[in-house]
Amino acid sequence: MKVLSSINNTYESYQKLISFYNANKDKLFDDIHIELRQWFSANMSAALGAVLDLLAGHINDIYFDYIAPDTEKVLLKNEFLSYYGKQRIFDTNHTTIKYQKLKPSDGKYFKKYVIEELIGRNELPNMSVALKEKMVEAIYEIFVNAQIHSETDFIYTCGQFFPTKNKIEFTIVDTGVGFKEKVNQRFGVNLSAEKAIEWAVKDRNTTKENISGGIGLAVLREFIGMNKGKMQIVSNDGFYEYDRNGIKTNSFTGTFPGTIVNLQFCTNDFNNYSLKDEIDIDDIF
Amino acid sequence: MESTTINIVNIIGDAYGVEADDGQKVYELIKKSIDGGHKVTLSFLNIEMLTTAFLNTAIGQLYKDYTEEQIKDHLQVTDISESGKVALKRVVETAKLFYKDPDALKRSIDDIIDDD
C-alpha cells in the first residue's frame, strides 16, 4: 500500500493512515513509497510525519513518488517536505502553521513556536485576545499531556488557518504509550482503546498515582463545546470525537502507534472569555 | 509566623507556567517554607500562561502533605489572572477530592466497564 488519497480529518482518513502504517511497519532495510493523491490536509502532516519517522527508524528509505500539486505547495510552505529533502517555499498567504517535531523536553522551544505561529499572528483579526489565550491554553494542555504520559521520543505538531471558514485546525501527535495501555496498566483492567479515551476525557480522571489531575482534557472539552469547535482523539485502535453533535466513538482496523489529538477551533467565536471577579482570591484553598 | 514570598516567574525562569516539572520546583519550595514554619505568599506576577498540569504539581499535591486548614493558614496567592484563578480553584477542588477519596478513580473505571 503506498497511496494515501483524500486525507483530511474524518474517521476514514485516520483509518487510511493506520492501514498505511500497518502495511509498512514490518519492513526493514527497505524502500517505502508513498503517493499523496487528491488532497491532504496540512495539519495531518503531524500524523504522517510521526508514522514516517517510525518507518524510517527501521532503516527504511522514504520516497514520495507523487504529491498532488496543490498539496505539495502547502506541504512545502508548512515545511513538512523540507524534512524529506525538498526546498521549502515562502507562504505568501500566511495560512500555514509550521510542521514541527520536538523532543518532549523542548518545552521552551514549543513556547517560541506557539508565540510565532499562533499568538503573534495577525491573520485573524476577529479573534479576541481572550479567545486566543483559551486556544493556546488548550493546545498547551495537550502538549503537556504528551510530555507527561506518552513516553514518546518526539511530539509532532502542525496546523492550518482557514480564513474563509473562520477555522483553525491544530494537531498534536506522539508515538508513545497510548491511552489504552496507560489506563489498563494503572488500574489492572482491560478497557478497549475507545473506553480508555472516554474515561480519560472525563473531569478528574487521571492515571497519575500521587498527583491529582485529569482536568486538562475536561477543560479542553468544555472550551470546544463553547467554541463550537471539534476535538478528535485517535489512540491505538480507538477513535473519539466531540463536537456540537455530541460524542462519537469507534474503533479502527489496525492500530495507530501512539496518539493523535486533532483540534478545530472557530475563530469567529464572540463568547466572552474574559471572566471578571468570579472567584475570591482569599477563598481558593 | 515569618512570611516569605515565592515569585513563580523567578523560580521557573519563564513567564509560562505550563510544564509539570516546573510546577514541581514551585511545590518543593512551598513545602520547604511551610515545613520551616513560614507563611508563603505565592506571586503569579508576570506569569502569562498557566496549565492545570503546572498547577497540579505546584499546588494541588500540597493536599497530600497538609490539611485544608494548614494550607489556608500558610498559603496565599497574589497577582494571579482571572483565568488563572478559575484554573487554580478547579485544581484545588480536584486535589481535595483526590486525596480524600483515593478509591474514587477505581470506581470510575468500574462505572465505565459497567456501561458496556
| pLDDT tens digits, A130-173 | 888 899 999 999 999 999 989 999 999 999 998 889 999 999 99
Q: Which of A143, A210, A215, A276 to mutate to test the interface with B (most CBs of B within 10 A)?
A: A215
Q: How high is the pLDDT of residue A71?
A: 96
- Closest residue to B105, CB basis, from A205, A273, A275: A205
How do the domains of chain A map onto residue ranges? 3-270
For residue A191, the chain B residues in CB contact (below 8 A) are: 109, 112-113
- pTM score, whole prediction: 0.95
CA atoms within 13 A on the CB side of A89: 9
ipTM of the modeled complex? 0.91
pLDDT above 80 for B115: no
Residues with Cβ within 8 Å of A97's Cβ and at least 6 positions away in sequence, in order, are: A42, A43, A78, A117, A118, A158, A159, A160, A161, A168, A170
pLDDT tens digit string along B27-52? 999 999 999 999 999 999 999 999 99
**Chain B contacts of A130, Cβ < 8 Å?**
83
d(CA A10, CA B4): 53
Strands A246-266 and A167-174: antiparallel
CB B80 within 8 A of CB A281: yes
Chain A contacts of B82, Cβ < 8 Å?
A: 274-279
Assess contact for B11 and B21: CB atoms under 8 A. Answer: no
Cα-Cα-Cα-Cα dihedral sign, residues B10, B14, B17, B19: negative
Q: Is the pLDDT of residue A275 over 70?
A: no
Total CB pairs under 8 A between chain A and B: 126
Q: Is A61 exposed, middle or buried (CB count within 10 Å of its CB: 0-12, 13-18, 19+)?
A: exposed
Q: Map out the domains of chain B as residue ranges.
A: 3-114
Asked if A189's CB is within 8 angstroms of B105's CB, the reply is: no
**Interface check B90 vs A, CB under 8 A:** yes
User: Is B69 in the A-facing interface, judged by CB distances under 8 Å?
Assistant: no
CA quadruple B36, B37, B42, B43: dihedral, nearest 10: -90
CB distance B87–A219 less than 8 Å?
Answer: yes
Instruction: Kindly identify which residue of chain A lies nearest to residue B77, measuring between CA atoms.
Output: A281
- Cβ atoms < 10 Å from Cβ of A283: 9
Superfamily of domain A3-270: Histidine kinase-like ATPase, C-terminal domain (3.30.565.10)
